[in-house]
Amino acid sequence: MSELAGQRILLGVSGGIAAYKAADLVRRLQDAGAEVRVVMTEGAQQFVTATTFQALSGYPVGTTLWDAAAEAAMGHIELARWASRIVIAPASADAIARLAHGIANDLLSTICLASEAPLTLVPAMNRMMWAHAATQANVATLLSRGATVLGPGEGDQACGEIGAGRMLEPLQIVAALAALSQPPLLAGRRVLISAGPTFEDLDPVRFLGNRSSGKMGFALAAAAAAMGAKVVLVAGPVNLATPAGVERIDVRRAAQMRAAVLQALPGQDVYIGAAAVADYAPSETLPQKIKKSGETLDLKLVRTPDILAEVASHAARPRLVVGFAAETNDIDTYAQDKLRRKGLDLIAANDVSAQGIGFESEDNALAVFSHEGRSDIARGPKRQVAGALLALIAARLGASA
């Protein structure tokens, strides 16, 4: 993964139990290609030691303004200049308050004042502290100065309460930082994406489904939003968090997906059909559980509507209609046939029989066909592959604008 390649991230860790998660965050940031240096407040050192962060980052950890040896090695002004982004995770109520008021009474707050690097805060605190008017006013001040705030999430808190105040998980933070570094290639564009499987109910307990995890469609939604698009995501039954800034419509069956897609269609610039829509659905859904009887059971299935083909021939057709083709053999032939038959502008084909890519996996690789030719997107994490596909889409939109 190299979503943060070339970034020099100064990670400020302030006091809070979520400081332990910051240790994992160092690793995740490095995995994404960033160089990381850590500065801790005094409060943070009550929860995790500087040695932990030193071992993980591979660099000395800044803990105080008054360490002559550390200042001689890489002083606070040098660190302030070195950083291409400052991320404070966890950002405590106290750290947020001091930054909002320009107080420079420790190493981290001093560096923040002395740096031109963009500031990202990842708050973590008790829900009452987060909701307090003082904290909210401080956050508003920092936002008005251009800082970014990621989270906090909702849920169980270390203090035993439930509410908003949890620090986002390290991988969510990395994804959000990657999004912040994307060029706004789709600013002002509207993108409609379908994702995930559909479940076609046989009776109240059984359904016909497929192995689509929805990860590719969700990665596309996240990447498109990160590139500045207004994104509507029509999602089949999946177990995935909604990407930041994306409007999500949950559906279950192909018929519901069709209805949701067609309703959202007017005004869209792009439609990407990344869902694995069932081709056949039971002719009827029985109101009661089918009872066991006999050695065989015949199911009558009927064809579902082809949403993608319908979108491509619709009066409200978006400028670009993009399909996916999951194939196990003869990828080129089948993909190009689908491109023509369904009236698409682009089709992204992947080999679902290949190890480690496609269905249920974290990685993908795509061959993208248009009426003009083929381009390949090399194997990588789905988020990266999604970014590459959207860059192609943005280029085509730009060319036809």
Task: From 116-124, 179-187, 239-247, 304-312, give the range in contact with ligand C5P by CB under 6 A.
Answer: 304-312
Among 308, 320, 346, 397, indicate the residue that binds ligand C5P (CB under 6 A): 308
Q: What is the distance between the alpha carbons of residues 40 and 111, in angstroms, rounded to a whole number?
A: 11
Beta bridge partners of 228: none
Distance CA 351, CA 370 (A): 18
Looking at beta carbons only, is 145 or 341 nearer to ligand C5P?
A: 341
* Phi/psi-derived region of residue 284, left when phi > 0, alpha when psi is between -120 and 50, beta in every other case: beta
Is 389 one of the binding residues for ligand C5P (CB under 6 A)?
Answer: no
Residue 305, judged by CB atoms within 10 A of its CB (0-12, 13-18, 19+), counts as middle
List the beta bridge partners of residue 119. 86
Nearer to ligand C5P, 88 or 307 (CB): 307
CB-nearer residue toward ligand C5P: 207 or 324: 324
What residue ranges in 3-115 does DSSP mark as E strands? 8-13, 35-40, 85-91
Task: Decide if residue 41 touches ligand C5P (CB under 6 A).
Answer: no
Kindly name the residue from 17, 114, 159, 309 that is annotated as catalytic: 159
- CB 375 → ligand C5P: shortest distance, Å? 18
Size of interface with ligand C5P, in residues (CB under 6 A): 14
Determine the interface stretch with ligand C5P among 111-119, 283-291, 303-311, 379-387 (rule: CB under 6 A): 303-311
Among 277, 346, 349, 390, binds ligand C5P (CB under 6 A): 277
Residue 175, CB half-sphere, CA atoms under 13 Å: how many? 23
Q: Closer to ligand C5P at the Cβ: 145 or 374?
A: 374
Sort residue 260 into left (φ over 0), alpha (ψ -120 to 50) or beta: alpha
**Contact predicate 380/365, CB 8 Å:** yes
Q: Which of 14, 57, 115, 304 binds ligand C5P (CB under 6 A)?
A: 304
Helix, strand, or coil here: 290? coil
Helix H or strand E segment including 232: strand 230-235
| Residue of the chain from 130, 207, 218, 324 that contacts ligand C5P (CB under 6 A) | 324
Nearest to 257 by CA among 239, 240, 281: 281
What's CA 23's distance to the chain center, in Å? 21
Comparing CB distances to ligand C5P, the nearer of 87 and 339 is 339
Task: DSSP for 369-397, please give it.
Answer: EESS-EEEEEEEEHHHHHHHHHHHHHHHH
Stretch that binds ligand C5P, among 104-112, 147-155, 225-233, 270-278 (CB under 6 A): 270-278
Site string for ligand C5P, 182-221 (x = CB under 6 A): ------------x---------------------------
Whole-number minimum distance, CB 379 to ligand C5P, in Å?
A: 20
- The stretch near ligand C5P (CB under 6 A) out of 33-41, 155-163, 227-235, 318-326 is 318-326
* 159 counts as catalytic: yes
Could you say which DSSP state residue 198 is in?
Answer: -
Terminal CA-to-CA distance of the chain, rounded, Å?
A: 32
Asked whether position 275 contacts ligand C5P by CB under 6 A, the answer is: yes
**Residue from 26, 45, 44, 28 nearest 36 by CA:** 26
Rule CB under 6 A: choose which of 25, 178, 254, 349 binds ligand C5P.
Answer: 254
Site string for ligand C5P, 326-365 (x = CB under 6 A): ------------x---------------------------
Of 49, 76, 51, the closest CA to residue 65 belongs to 76
For position 307 contacting ligand C5P by CB under 6 A, the verdict is yes
Q: Does 38 bind ligand C5P (CB under 6 A)?
A: no
Q: Which amino acid is at 9?
A: I
Catalytic residue positions, numbered: 159
- In the complex, which residues of this chain contact ligand C5P (CB under 6 A)? 194, 254, 273, 275, 277, 279, 304, 306-308, 323-325, 338
